[in-house]
Amino acid sequence: MSSLIKISPSILSADFSKLGAEVISLEKAGADYIHIDVMDGHFVPNLTIGPEVIKKLRPLTKKVFDVHLMISPVDNFIKDYANAGADIITFHPEATKDTSKTIELIKKENKKVGISLKPKSSIDLIKDHLSEIDLVLIMSVEPGFGGQKFMPEVLEKTKKLKEIIKSKGFNIDIEIDGGINFENCSLAKQAGANILVSGSTIFKENKGDLKKNIEILRKN
């Protein structure tokens, strides 16, 4: 199974004074995706990266830009992030009045579609949309801040989701984000996640040895 595991380092934990160099280093270190958290200070209590920053980073790497929009109303910003260079655009069902319409807007931009579930958000919010999407992002912390502690209670939801996807024969990635470290990454994989988002662990463990940290997360 380990060969199927993708690692998507979250640049929320990178050094913002040299973000371009950090992205290049992540590519060299073997990252599969680059995870970009977008927060609006309204849907979640923090502000982060806008489309202009992504546009500047885009020429530096061919890696998939895995863009998680924690913004509301999300429809107003999809085109901007698509044009900036996002490859996967993930949104929260709570951030739109019409989930199907938001999915269509992302597809119209020829981008992959992800839907994210916060720790307390039910699978029922997305069950009817699984045939239309490419990825489900399970949040294992409350969205809004990096460096939080992993919430093991989301593993049950991850398992259930994996069972539904398998029973329907859908080809959907399950990504997990929030407090993922060397200890709990195996639990996330066992529950059915095949993409791990990690920030603090990748950038800070083993004196910031990105390559080593990515490999440990992939293999543990």
Instruction: Tell whether the torsion through CA atoms of 72, 44, 213 and 172 is positive or negative.
Output: negative
Per the listing, tokens 């640049």 go with 11
Contact present, 75 and 101 (Cβ < 8 Å): yes
Instruction: Give the distance, in angstroms, between the CA of residue 53 and the centroid of all CA atoms in the same chain.
Output: 18
Is 177 considered catalytic here? yes
Amino acid symbol at 101: K
Contact present, 74 and 47 (Cβ < 8 Å): no
Query: Residue 91: which residues within 8 A CB-CB, separation 6 or more?
Result: 69, 74, 78, 102, 106, 114, 115, 116
- Active-site residue (options: 37, 40, 75, 173): 37
Could you count the other beta carbons within 10 Å of the beta carbon of residue 139?
24
End-to-end CA distance of the chain: 11
Is 134 considered catalytic here? no
- Active-site residue (options: 128, 134, 177, 209): 177
Asked whether the bond before 119 is cis by omega within 30 degrees of 0, the reply is no
For the annotated catalytic residues, the residue numbers are 37, 177
